[in-house]
Amino acid sequence: MKKVILTGLRANNDLHIGNYLGALLPFIDMAKSKAGEYQLNLFMPDLHSITTPIDHSKLQGTIMDNLKVFAAAGLPLDNSDIYLYRQSYVPAHSELTVLLNNFTGFGEMGRMTQFKDKSQRINAEAYDRTGAQDFKLPETPHDIKMRVAESRVSVGLFDYPVLMACDILLYNATYVPVGDDQSQHLEFTRDIAIRMNAKFGDLFTVPVEVKKQHEFFGKDQGLRIKDLLDPSKKMSKSDETGKGVIFMTDSPEVATKKIMAAATDSIGMVNYDPVKQPGISNLLQILALLTGKDPQETADEYSGQTQYGDFKKDVAKAVADFLTDFQAKLAKVDNAAILAKLEKDEAAMREQANATLLKVQQAVGLRPKA
Ligand code: TYM
């Protein structure tokens, strides 16, 4: 049995350069260098996409657009060790989530940082919208009830980490390239796998611990690309203005403007120091990753400079060149090839996932033991 490397990227909005550098690039590097030796699963967590309020009429379009991004980023579509699939097309993900919910603590989920952050944001947005003009007035009590219910933090969001654990455990994945914001979910995946194995015998492969994951992917820590305008927070798909986010579909001109407007500091020296110079360090990180170098080595190239203009121009050029090349590839992606791969791989994944699900069903007493 080949070891499995697995990751997923949600289709809530256009993917951005943080998603690309944090998860997609390491996965695709592995797909190119390790297929043959490993099984590589790249999937679209479409069930995760609906854990926060979205425009459901756009979801199908975004899913297809993001799958095309995977192909344009270099995912080989013709390799039999590489699987591409949509989560909801493999029903075992939902089924195992229902089962593992019963072995997961309520408090354990409530402590998840992403849940706390996202629920705070949803609540704040709901509060901001109270009395806003975009609701038909006068609102009936039913309208109000529906509005409040829709803007609530959902049970789905609360349960997000269990579904994510199932995504990983169903395929016995060992390595999971994700950005730093997902480390806690990865730790939970290990916890629940260890807990289930202790109770029921060997059910799941336990993914390696987060630190070892970084070593495997050749990094010393998980990546967190920051918002360009506010480097105290991560670059995020849910940023409404999009001004601090470089989307993979931004034109090179738009991306250049965003980089040139990125927040820096008054120190005037290009140092890699994420604590004292978070804005500059973020730009260094982006430039280093796009040119295949180390951020410190990149910073050294600017030693002696006392202004940020030339440095920012170099970052903008690297990003614009990257986007030009990527978008040319995106325009050439063959939709039919993606759909054919999805159909074939989803059938194969249903078989693999069902085999793990059956082991769990047998362990908890829902199916007779073989
Ligand atoms: P999503 O779609 O929110 O993020 C996709 C990937 O992008 C990484 N990422 C970042 N990396 C660096 N800097 C950033 N600013 C940045 N923003 C996002 C995320 O860490 C992630 O790796 N829950 C997952 C999706 C998922 C998944 C899974 C991943 C569902 N099931 C099973 C792995 C295995 C997520 O955050 O998606």
Q: 100-141 pLDDT, tens per residue?
A: 999 999 999 999 999 998 888 887 776 565 554 455 556 677
Residue 138: cis peptide before it, omega within 30 degrees of 0: yes
Please tell me if the CB atom of residue 42 comes closer than 6 angstroms to any atom of ligand 1. no
Does the pLDDT of residue 271 top 70, yes or no? yes
Give the position of tokens 């082991």: 359
3-state secondary structure of 85: strand
Mean pLDDT score, 68-85: 96
Does the pLDDT of residue 151 top 70, yes or no? no
* pTM exceeds 0.75, yes or no: yes
Mean pLDDT score, 233-242: 84
Please tell me if the CB atom of residue 7 comes closer than 6 angstroms to any atom of ligand 1. yes
High-pLDDT (> 70) share of the chain, % = 94
**pLDDT of amino acid 133:** 45
Q: What is the pLDDT of residues 20-63, one digit of tens each?
A: 999 999 999 999 999 899 999 999 999 999 998 899 999 999 99
Q: pLDDT band at residue 370, thresholds of 50, 70 and 90?
A: confident
Q: What is the pLDDT of residues 191-203, one digit of tens each?
A: 999 999 999 999 9
Instruction: Among 19, 43, 46, say which to mutate for ligand 1: greatest number of ligand atoms within 8 Å of CB.
Output: 19
Query: Is 118 one of the annotated active-site residues of the chain?
Result: yes
Query: Is 233 one of the annotated active-site residues of the chain?
Result: no
**pLDDT of amino acid 248:** 95
Across the chain, what does the average pLDDT equal? 92
Please tell me if the CB atom of residue 234 comes closer than 6 angstroms to any atom of ligand 1. yes
**pLDDT of amino acid 149:** 60
**pLDDT of amino acid 127:** 59
**Nearest CA-CA partner of 258 in 281, 290, 226:** 226
Measure the CA–CA gap between 92 and 283, rounded to whole angstroms.
41
